[in-house]
Amino acid sequence: MCRLLGYVGVPLMLKKLLADPPHSLVVQSYQPREMTAGLLNADGFGIAWYDRGKSEQPFTYRSELPIWNDINLPSLQRYVVSDCFIAGIRSATPGQGVGLTNCPPYCYDRFSFIHNGFIENFRTTLYRPLRSLLEDEFYHLIHGSTDSEHIFALLMQFYRHEKDLINALSHTLDVILQLSHQYGVRSALNVIVSDGQSLVASRYASAEPIPSLYRLEMHESSIIASEPLWENDRWQSLAPNSTIVVSFPQKD
């Protein structure tokens, strides 16, 4: 079912959230607490981070290894410092290949995207209907076979026309939920998308149970995560079928 993480705020070493917390993404890969399907998240992982001093486009690291088994990550996550990043660990839907093209996050221009959820029987239900909605540029944005990458391509197409990320995400969710109802399949649509300035996140599903998603607001930063990274009564569960925006704190 995958697990997600998004951060925006004061510059932070990646390992402070990826590995150091007692219930970090590394721990959630082999001992998740709130997954509604599956037992492990061992089918790859990825990180997208921003350094606007070097580029508006995100930098990425993706691996088809389990996050606990990638020998490059401990060094990388101590080196990279960022004020905005997203990360995800993958539990592949049965029938979907394990490989880098199917590994999150997905990126286009300055945007990065991760998805926790599924479209039921995607290859035989919404695969062709979703692709039929895509203009050539966004059709060719898809390199793998996951429902996640198709959702991202549709989102980027709507953004191109609407120029508003929140509206584009809402439009994308509406289309997928309508198609899910039309084809009689379930869909779970927890996503985080970032432009390097903010995180836009959704907690949506066509039916119960809705995958978990939490938000933690701190003095100079915000975290969105599938599961709380540590014990703290300030973690707030996002309301079912809701979308939120988290941006850098406003300075006086």
**H/E stretch holding 229:** none
Cβ atoms of 180 and 122 within 8 Å: the answer is: no
Residue 166 one-letter amino acid:
I
- Distance, in Å, from the CA atom of 57 to the CA atom of 192, rounded to the nearest integer, reads 16
Q: Strands (DSSP E) along the chain, which ranges? A: 3-13, 45-51, 55-63, 81-89, 106-108, 111-119, 187-194, 198-203, 214-217, 221-225, 236-237, 242-247
User: Whose CA is closest to 124, among 109, 145, 103?
Assistant: 145
In this structure, what are the phi and psi dihedrals at residue 185, rounded to the nearest 5 degrees? -125, 155
Catalytic residue among 2, 84, 103, 107: 2
Annotated active-site residue 84? The verdict is no
CB atoms within 10 A of CB 215: 19
- Distance, in Å, from the CA atom of 205 to the CA atom of 237, rounded to the nearest integer, reads 15
- Distance, in Å, from the CA atom of 185 to the CA atom of 162, rounded to the nearest integer, reads 28
**What amino acid positions are annotated as catalytic residues?**
2
